[in-house]
Structure 1
């Protein structure tokens, strides 16, 4: 298993995994991801914020990171945190606890980037996903109604989000 930055050659596969994730979301009757703009992914790749797990030279999982997320985290955005977004897993590799691998990677990544928190969100109150993220080491912070969603992907508009956090001070 190798964790590395995604590159421009991965864009087709990234969008394929987003479509697969959206199809999976449809089966769970939860909020669906919109179709993301290619420019967003290109920017994340250029800024080295789009990541992938490779298993046997195949993309098993992708995600993006950010160091700021004020519209979702409000005043807490002032905390030094890394924010994980849009985890999508290749169905061939489901059930291999790849989010736990991302969490272990994120702990080192956060420390290397002088961050004290690892944070994530998911739209809505998806109880099975909340339970899974708790098993991966996150604390469930709660459900928050978003106020200012201008510029956020459309699935955040008029939405409540579940917030998750790992406080690295608590893991020492």
Structure 2
């Protein structure tokens, strides 16, 4: 990727759904090839993405107007996070990061890391203090991203039928 690329972060729109679903399917296959259990049980599915977009949770990172990365950002609402085996850093408002998926066309270009910069800027612009995120214990790529971006391991949560490592980063 060159510096001439225009990168934008925006809410996903209904006309993005087909592209987002294709990216999700690529990510499901990538997780399977990596030997991960994550996303191998029919979740997320097309209805999940349609719901994200209709509720305003879905966001995309575009490169030269091509959807490159998808993420769902949800304010203060993840029931699984209320019972953590461990302890969150904060008890106030937060943004939950779910369903990060990078298009195969843009894989390996550092866009997931860049996505977290946009998420953090967006979260601060909403005067929300922290970002919470979970991932599968075997999602090495995401674990490395969270470490590199300064997220703190807080414990484990049970989500989508599995135990997930939970992280938080205090922004303000």
Range of TM-score over shorter length: 0.7 to 0.9
- The Cα shift of 1:136 comes to 2.4
Superposition RMSD on alpha carbons, in Å? Answer: 2.1
SS in 2 for 1:95: coil
**Structure 2, gaps ≥5 residues long:** 1-6
Residue 131 of structure 2 is matched in structure 1 by 118
Contact between 1:130 and 1:140, CA under 8 Å: does it hold in 2? no
Q: Secondary structure at the match of 1:122?
A: strand
- Residues 5-154 of structure 1 mapped to structure 2, 5 A cutoff: 5-33=11-39, 34-67=42-75, 68-74=77-83, 76=88, 78-142=91-155, 144-146=156-158
Task: Give the corresponding residue for 1:167.
Answer: 170
What SS does structure 1 have at the residue aligned with 2:72? strand
Residue 153 of structure 1: aligned partner: none
Listed as ranges, the gaps of 5+ residues in structure 1 are 150-155
Farther-moved stretch of structure 1 (32-41 vs 49-58): 32-41
TM-score by length of 1: 0.81
- 1:162 aligns to what SS in structure 2? strand
Helix, strand or coil for the counterpart of 2:83?
helix
Distance of 1:102 and 1:128 partners within structure 2 = 14
Q: How many equivalent pairs are there?
A: 159
More helix by share: 1
- TM-score under structure 2 normalisation? 0.81
Distance 1:72 1:91, change over 3 A: same
Segment drifting more, 51-60 vs 129-138: 129-138
Judge which range, 5-14 or 127-136, deviates more.
127-136
Contact 1:64/1:86 (CA < 8 Å) preserved in 2?
Answer: yes
Q: Using the alignment, how far apart are the partners of 1:94 and 1:37 within structure 2?
A: 21
- Conserved in 2, the CA contact under 8 Å of 1:21 and 1:88? yes
**Aligned-partner Cα distance in 1 for 2:8–2:57:** 16
- Higher RCO, Cα 8 Å, sep 6+: 2
Cα 1:124–1:90 change in 2 (3 A) is same
Q: C-alpha distance in 1, partners of 2:82/2:37?
A: 19
